[in-house]
């Protein structure tokens, strides 16, 4: 499973866009990039998944450059409720599917 | 609510006691995972079931840990002779055909 590196923490104000970049230099050809969000005392929640270029859903956008050695999760116009830990994961779809989490990025949104 | 449920949500026990946790996955998901999470860290994989078959176990799962999924539906995780180092959040997840894992709220274990 490819190792990922992401910032330990990020601060933002309400209404701003938050961009979290994750490095995964050893990503394999079959690996997808997945982001999860976790609030205190809750299990992680799937946010978005992508393989290349750009993916957008109602919650976030995921930007993946051509070399796929990094990816950026973009949270538009954050609110206080977006305060959480965000995890970047990289893995193969043909594996057992176990997820390898790092320490994640603690995002704190203030008024 | 048709999400993943876990019971109990909190468990406090004394060192040396046995504890058992239950996970009820989303009904149509045949794949089930257990993870452990300690403070400030991301979840760590413990074990994986496809239907009733336990297909993979992490080295974190010592002999004191056992997991079952007898009918391919709910799963239990038992810890025997608990130690203080077992204190953690135990998370269960189930997976759909798109590879997305849906996590339960977890069981927080405190070993005194």
Task: Tell me the pLDDT tens digit for each residue of A10-58.
Answer: 999 999 999 999 999 999 888 889 999 999 889 999 999 999 999 999 9
pLDDT for residue B61: 86
Kindly report the nearest CA distance between residue A88 and chain B, in angstroms.
10
Pairwise CA distance, residues B52 & B30, whole Å: 9
A41 contacts in chain B (CB < 8 Å): 89, 105-106, 108
How many Å from the N-terminal Cα to the C-terminal Cα in chain B? 33
Task: Tell me the pLDDT tens digit for each residue of A59-84.
Answer: 999 999 999 999 999 999 999 999 99
- Contact between A19 and A72 under an 8 Å Cβ cutoff? The reply is yes
pLDDT at A90 over 70: yes
Work out the average pLDDT over A92-97: 63
Which positions in chain B have a beta carbon within 8 angstroms of at least one beta carbon in chain A?
4, 31, 33, 35, 40-45, 48, 55-56, 89, 91-93, 95, 99-106, 108
Pairwise CA distance, residues B88 & B48, whole Å: 19
Task: Tell me the pLDDT tens digit for each residue of B50-105.
Answer: 999 999 899 888 899 999 999 889 999 999 999 999 999 999 999 987 778 899 99
Radius of gyration of chain B (CA): 13
A92, β-bridge pairs: A31
Confidence of residue A105 (pLDDT cuts 50, 70, 90): very high
- Contact between B93 and A89 under an 8 Å Cβ cutoff? The reply is no
Give the nearest chain A residue to B109 (CA atoms): A41
Q: Where are the beta strands (DSSP E) in B4-52?
A: 5-7, 10-13, 19-24, 31-37, 44-50
Residue A78 corresponds to which tokens in the numbers above?
């954050």
Of the given ranges (A89-103, B10-24, B72-86), which has the lowest mean pLDDT?
Answer: A89-103
Pairwise CA distance, residues A14 & A81, whole Å: 10
pLDDT for residue B25: 96
pLDDT for residue A96: 67
- Residue found under tokens 């997305």: B100
């Amino acid at each position: 499973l490819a190792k990922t590196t992401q910032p330990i923490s990020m601060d933002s104000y309400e209404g701003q866009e938050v961009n979290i970049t994750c490095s995964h230099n050893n990503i394999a050809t079959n690996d997808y990039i997945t982001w999860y969000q976790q609030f205190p005392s809750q299990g992680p929640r799937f946010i978005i998944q992508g393989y290349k270029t750009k993916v957008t859903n109602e919650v976030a956008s995921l930007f993946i450059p051509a070399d796929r050695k990094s990816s950026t999760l973009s949270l538009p116009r954050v609110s206080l409720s977006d305060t959480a830990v965000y995890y970047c994961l990289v893995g193969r779809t043909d594996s057992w599917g176990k997820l390898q989490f790092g320490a994640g990025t603690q995002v704190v949104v203030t008024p | 609510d048709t999400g993943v449920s876990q019971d109990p949500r909190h468990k406090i026990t004394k060192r040396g006691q046995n504890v058992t946790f239950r996970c009820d996955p989303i009904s149509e998901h045949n794949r089930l995972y257990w993870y452990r999470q300690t403070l400030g860290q991301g979840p760590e994989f413990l074990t994986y079931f496809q239907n009733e078959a336990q297909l993979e176990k992490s080295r974190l799962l010592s002999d004191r840990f056992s997991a079952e999924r007898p009918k391919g539906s709910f799963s239990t995780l038992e810890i025997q002779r608990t130690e203080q180092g077992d204190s953690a959040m135990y998370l269960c997840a189930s997976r759909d055909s798109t590879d997305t894992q849906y996590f339960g709220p977890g069981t927080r274990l405190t070993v005194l």
